[in-house]
């Protein structure tokens, strides 16, 4: 056996061993991670909102999370920075009620809409999670708390700036 054939076999065996090691370690390392996302609005992932109770207001951070083990699914995480209100209504019930709509890809045309009810208090750091099914690939995601729902059959006393972007879903 020549040195050349020995080197080729050694490199081939090393490559097979490395591929086997990587394939065994790959699924074990799969955990929920932030989705690569490009935000289209100037406010980025922050959603300033005026809620439904006693002129409550604040900022809600949005975050899209994916899990490589669950193909085509994503989780939207809403995290409050703390809500504030005015008057005796707020003193009696310091909870800001918000109905946020998550719209992805074709939106209302393909029934790709999810409404999430958020009830945040004055304490920052409270969070709510909602799972969506945009499918694998690039997904257009829009998150808003509008005064009317996406199907135009419910009026809500609230308003917000929207969070829009494109996310890569495994």
pLDDT tens series, the chain, 170 aa: 577 665 556 554 545 454 444 454 445 455 677 788 888 988 999 999 999 999 999 999 999 999 989 999 999 999 999 999 999 999 999 999 999 999 999 888 888 999 999 999 999 999 999 999 999 999 999 999 999 988 888 999 999 999 999 999 99
Instruction: In whole angstroms, give the CA distance from residue 121 to residue 83.
Output: 6
Number of other residues whose CB lies within 10 A of the CB of residue 128:
17
Instruction: In whole angstroms, give the CA distance from residue 81 to residue 79.
Output: 7
Cα dist. 116→17, 78, 119, 127, 140 in Å?
Answer: 47, 10, 10, 12, 18
Contact assessment for residue 121 and residue 83, using Cβ atoms and an 8 Å cutoff: yes
> What pLDDT, on a 0 to 100 scale, did the predictor assign at position 59?
97
Number of other residues whose CB lies within 10 A of the CB of residue 103:
20
The CATH number, out of the four listed (3.40.720, 2.60.40, 2.20.25, 2.40.37), of the domain defined by the range 33-169: 2.60.40
Contact assessment for residue 19 and residue 9, using Cβ atoms and an 8 Å cutoff: no
């Amino acid at each position: 056996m020549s040195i050349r054939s020995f080197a080729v076999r050694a490199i081939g065996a090393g490559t097979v061993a490395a591929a086997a090691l990587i394939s065994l370690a790959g699924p074990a390392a799969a955990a929920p991670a932030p989705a690569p996302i490009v935000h289209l609005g100037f406010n980025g992932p922050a959603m300033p909102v005026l809620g439904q109770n006693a002129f409550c207001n604040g900022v809600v951070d949005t975050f899209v999370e994916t899990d490589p083990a669950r193909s085509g699914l994503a989780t939207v995480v809403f995290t409050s920075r703390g809500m504030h209100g005015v008057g005796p209504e707020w003193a009696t019930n310091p909870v800001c009620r918000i109905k946020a709509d998550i719209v992805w890809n074709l939106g209302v045309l393909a029934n790709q809409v999810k409404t999430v009810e958020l009830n945040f208090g004055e304490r920052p750091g409270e969070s709510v999670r909602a799972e969506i099914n945009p499918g694998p690939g690039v997904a257009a995601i829009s998150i808003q708390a509008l005064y009317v729902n996406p199907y135009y059959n419910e009026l809500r006393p609230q308003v917000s700036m929207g969070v829009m972007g494109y996310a890569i879903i495994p």
